[in-house]
Amino acid sequence: MAEPRTSTESRSSTAWLVIAEQELRDLWLAGRGLLLMFAYSVLLSVTSYLVATNQALNFLERRESVTLTLQVAVAVSGLLVLLGSADAVSGERERGTLETLLLTPASRQSLVVGKGTAALSLWVVSIALSVPYLWFIGRGVGVVAEAVVSGFIVSGLLALFLSGLGLLISTVSSTNRVSLSVSLFVLLALYAPTQLASIGVAGTAGDVLLRLDPFTGGLDYLNKLLVGGHSAGQDIGVLIPTLVAAAVFPVAALATASRLTLLTRERS
Amino acid sequence: MKGVLVAATLLVTSAGLMGQSAPVPAGSTHAGTDHAVPAQSPPSYSGSAPADVLPVASAPAAVTVALDRTVADATLGGTFSFDATVRNESAQPVSGLIAHLNVLSSDPSVYVDPEDWSSHRSQFLDVLPAHSSATLRWPVQAVTAGPAIVYVAVTDPAAKTVAVSGPLQVTVPQRATINAGGIVPLALGIPAVVLALLVFTALRRRHLR
């Protein structure tokens, strides 16, 4: 009796790898991932060119330029991860391929982990693509290493959060359109407080809103570190909502995965 | 896919705005900017004990201000500090004095924003007793390359005159700047490499079919 159980466990533990490999292949060899990266690199090129051609920038403004470029990279890489994960389950459902996946021996959690891994690959590649731009803009002000490391950590936390969020929404959405619309709406709602932060929000409610928003926390941390010259541990508190979101949402997505179904609409 | 790209463009616009910082009121200690300049220590007083007798004089006619040096060297982005000594030469105490730091460039092609050099440009003094002085410390960050002149002006809200210190000549050597031309190969090269990969995978896919 022991052998079949071991075999099942082994199959289950590697199933997510098989799914991740297939998803990565689809994403990067079928062209969609590279197309997104092309658009992303054009955006970073335009941003960097505009920054680099402004010769009137002083030392602080140069650091702000590095931060701006990094924040664009972090925000857009988060967007890409969200789009990838929001399409993961609802896309299969809409294309009529979810049933086939559910019939495989892979558990539903393995399915979600594999798809989440593929979505996170968009973050890895996009952050790697941003490094040359950050190096070019930040080399004169000694902030390149700091920007790359802090950007990698903050964007990684946001990517984990957004992949969890996207998978969660995708799992419970009946159509891909609903999943993508809701995900983008939530993302825009999360970005909005970052704009409030830049104009200054008075009052307890505004302060609480800013402190709870994972995006505001992450981007504010980068700003304090790179422009304010603060030490890495000085403002670690502002990263707490980002850390919590990065831990909670993937777990929530896994928990919801156990109830992953074809949904009533498709069955009828 | 088209919807995805449109959404990306929209969000890119939003993300591009995130780097903007809030407008800061000029020259105030309450500006709350977040530059890497440490907080200032309160002014230290010397001379006779603070007067507890009123009235106090309000006009700074008998007030002088002097800096502890006339020349300073700084690296671009580096911080340095200097002291300004405000002295009440009159026989009466003065109150409500405001000392304000200013920075300007002697090179007409260089624009200097003093707010970037110091986020706490104004310091408010307590009552300055007769024939006594107060020393104010100013940490400054040299954010613009080139020759700069730093000075301190002292006045009070009802003043008709302003006492001004001598100049502190600061030389900030230029560091490597962004080469606008150098960005072009990078800005074109990276998308070109990604595009080449995209075309390669598309051709390979077509070939496999």
Per the model's pLDDT, the better-predicted residue between B26 and A259 turns out to be A259
How far apart are the CA of B141 and the nearest CA of chain A, in angstroms?
A: 9
pLDDT at B13: 38
> What value of ipTM does the predicted structure carry?
0.82
Give the integer Cα–Cα distance in Å for A260 and A115: 14
Give the integer Cα–Cα distance in Å for B121 and B84: 12
- What would the mean pLDDT of A220-241 be, rounded to a whole number? 87
Per the model's pLDDT, the better-predicted residue between A141 and A133 turns out to be A133
pLDDT higher than 60, residue B178: no
Give the integer Cα–Cα distance in Å for A16 and A22: 10
Give the integer Cα–Cα distance in Å for B13 and B35: 26
pLDDT higher than 60, residue B196: yes
Mutate to test the interface with B, among A26, A32, A34 (most CBs of B within 10 A): A34
pLDDT higher than 50, residue B6: no
- What would the mean pLDDT of A21-42 be, rounded to a whole number? 91
Q: Which residues of A touch B119 (CB under 8 A)?
A: none
**A152 Cβ under 8 Å from any chain B Cβ:** no
Inter-chain CB proximity B14 and A60 less than 8 Å: no
Q: Which residue of A has its CA nearest to B177?
A: A140
Q: Which residues of B touch A59 (CB under 8 A)?
A: 76-77, 116, 141-145
pLDDT at A44: 94
Contacts of A144 (CB under 8 A, 6+ apart): A66, A134, A135, A138
Inter-chain CB proximity B12 and A43 less than 8 Å: yes
Q: In angstroms, what CA-CA distances link A128 with A45, A122, A124, A235, B34?
A: 14, 10, 6, 25, 29
In the DSSP assignment, the letter for residue A184 is: H
Provide the residue type at A215 as one letter.
F
Q: Which residue of A has its CA nearest to B13?
A: A72
Q: Which of A78, A113, A108, A77 is nearest to A93 (CA)?
A: A108
pLDDT at A246: 95
Query: pLDDT tens digit string along B83-103?
Result: 999 999 888 888 889 999 999
| Lowest mean pLDDT, pick from A32-36, A137-141, A217-221, B185-189 | A137-141
Q: Which residue of B has its CA nearest to A142?
A: B77
pLDDT at A32: 86
Kindly state the percentage of chain A with pLDDT values over 70: 87
Contacts of A89 (CB under 8 A, 6+ apart): A98, A111, A112, A115, A167, A170, A171, A173, A179, A260
Burial class (CB in 10 A: 0-12, 13-18, 19+), A237: exposed
Kindly state the percentage of chain A with pLDDT values over 90: 43
| Lowest mean pLDDT, pick from A38-52, B2-16, B39-53, B110-124 | B2-16
pLDDT higher than 50, residue A65: yes
How far apart are the CA of A109 and the nearest CA of chain B, in angstroms?
A: 26
Tokens of residue A105, six digits: 């021996």
- Out of A100-109, A213-222, A242-251, the most confident range is A242-251
Q: What would the DSSP string read from start to end of B100-145? A: EEEEEESSTT----HHHH-S--EEE---B-TT-EEEEEEEEE--S-
Instruction: Compute the mean pLDDT over every residue in chain B, rounded to the nearest whole number.
Output: 74
Provide the residue type at B16 as one letter.
G
pLDDT higher than 60, residue B4: no
The tally of CA atoms less than 13 A away on the side-chain side of residue B138 is 34
Give the integer Cα–Cα distance in Å for A221 and B34: 12
- What would the mean pLDDT of A71-91 be, rounded to a whole number? 92
Q: Which of A107, A111, A45, A44 is nearest to A77 (CA)?
A: A44
pLDDT higher than 80, residue B46: no
The tally of CA atoms less than 13 A away on the side-chain side of residue B33 is 23
Instruction: Compute the mean pLDDT over every residue in chain A, rounded to the nearest whole number.
Output: 85
